Amino acid sequence: MNALSATVRAAAIARSQRPLTLRSISTLPRSITLRPTARVAPVPNTARYYSSQREESAKDKLAVGPFNLRAGLLFLVTGAGLLYYFRTEKAKVAERRKAETASAKVGRPRIGGPFELVTSTSHPFTHDDLLGSFSLVYFGFTNCPDICPEELDKMGEVVDRIDAKYGKTVINPVFISCDPARDTVPQLERYIEDFHPRMVGLTGTFEAVKQACKAYRVYFSTPPGADPMGDYLVDHSIFFYLMDPEGKFVDAFGRSVDATETGDKVDAYVKQWIDAGLEIKEADARERVQKDGRQKVGL
């Protein structure tokens, strides 16, 4: 038995020194068998992977949650601060514009003031009826051959332009006669029909007209001993005046200033008033005095 084992070992050693072939394998003793070697793949640590993933997800939630809360609080605080800032600045701008509007009136001539006249529909009309909206006031006479019609046409063009821009009536066109002897109520109504439909025509006694002309610093003169039935001219100032909703003088426009330039200036004044947050009522003086129940008067 010992001899057999020694022989086998010797044969194995001898064969191990030669290349291994199929033939050499076949000559091995049948008692020797080759067993395949199986390699076992490592089992992944799935439990550890999912545990790590859950930890990372929890960390993300913890990181995102407080960030959203801080961002929300920051947004609210910033929004409240901006709202307060803009409201404060808006109030400051409004006050500054009011101050600028008021300061712009300093040094202007004292034009305008109380008067008591009669409309072309025989209704009493005073300075107070023009308050609340802008007014363009012109002094002339119905027998004027050319200058007065030209100026009243220009006035109507400016009024239409301003009304169209602001979407409402903001200016009362007003014509005051400085020839009360000939400009009766019926004559005045026939005359202004040729111009703007909202034009307020005013006349009165000689003293009442004189008072209105004095308030507006308007010069007028009729020939001495002029016959009211005669054909004569009245010398008068050729301006129309822009008055603001408080009845204060704003500007005067002479014959040399055309409708475009006049409209530009009037528009600038109206815009300044609106931007300052000041109110403008409907410019409906002609219609209002006919509907508010006031009694007609005769001259």
With respect to residue 265, please indicate whether it lies within any of the assigned structural domains. yes
Identify whether 222 is part of a domain.
Answer: yes
| Residue 241 sits in the same domain as residue 126 | yes
Quote the pLDDT of residue 214: 94
Q: Is 213 marked as a binding-site residue?
A: no
pTM: 0.65
Q: Specify the CATH number for the domain of residue 278.
A: 3.40.30.10
186 and 89 assigned to the same domain: no
* Structural domain that includes position 195: 116-291
* Residue 236, annotated as binding a ligand: yes
- Tell whether 148 and 218 lie within a shared domain: yes
Q: Is residue 212 assigned to a domain?
A: yes
The answer to whether residue 216 is domain-embedded is yes
Number of domains in the chain: 2
Could you tell me if 103 and 138 lie in one domain? no
Q: Identify whether residues 179 and 268 lie together within a single domain.
A: yes
pLDDT score of 7: 53
148 is in an annotated binding site: yes
Q: What is the pLDDT of residue 94?
A: 54
Domain presence at residue 16: no
67, 90, 107 — which closes off a domain? 107
The CB density around residue 99, as the number of other CB atoms within 10 Å, is 11
Report if residue 37 sits inside a domain.
no
pLDDT on residue 96: 52
Residue 42 lies in a domain: no
What confidence score (pLDDT) does residue 6 get?
54
Q: Based on the domain organization, do 136 and 271 belong to the same domain? A: yes
Q: What residues contact residue 139 under an 8 Å CB cut-off, 6+ apart?
A: 176, 177, 178, 213, 216, 218, 220, 236, 237, 239
Same domain (yes/no): 222, 85: no
- Same domain, yes or no, for 158 and 179? yes
Q: Is residue 180 part of a domain?
A: yes
User: What number of other Cβ atoms are within 10 A of residue 149's Cβ?
Assistant: 15
Together in a domain, 89 and 122: no
pLDDT string in tens for the chain (299-residue length):
455 455 545 555 555 555 545 445 454 455 444 455 545 555 555 545 445 555 555 555 545 444 567 776 777 777 777 777 667 666 655 555 554 454 444 456 789 999 999 999 999 999 999 999 999 999 999 999 999 999 999 999 999 999 999 988 999 999 999 999 999 999 999 999 999 999 999 999 999 999 999 999 999 888 888 888 888 999 989 999 999 999 999 999 999 999 999 999 999 999 999 999 999 999 999 999 999 889 999 87
Residues 159 and 286 in one domain: yes
Q: Which of 87, 107, 127 is the last residue of a domain?
A: 107
Residues 219, 103, single domain; the answer is no
- If asked whether residues 250 and 281 sit together in one domain, one would say yes
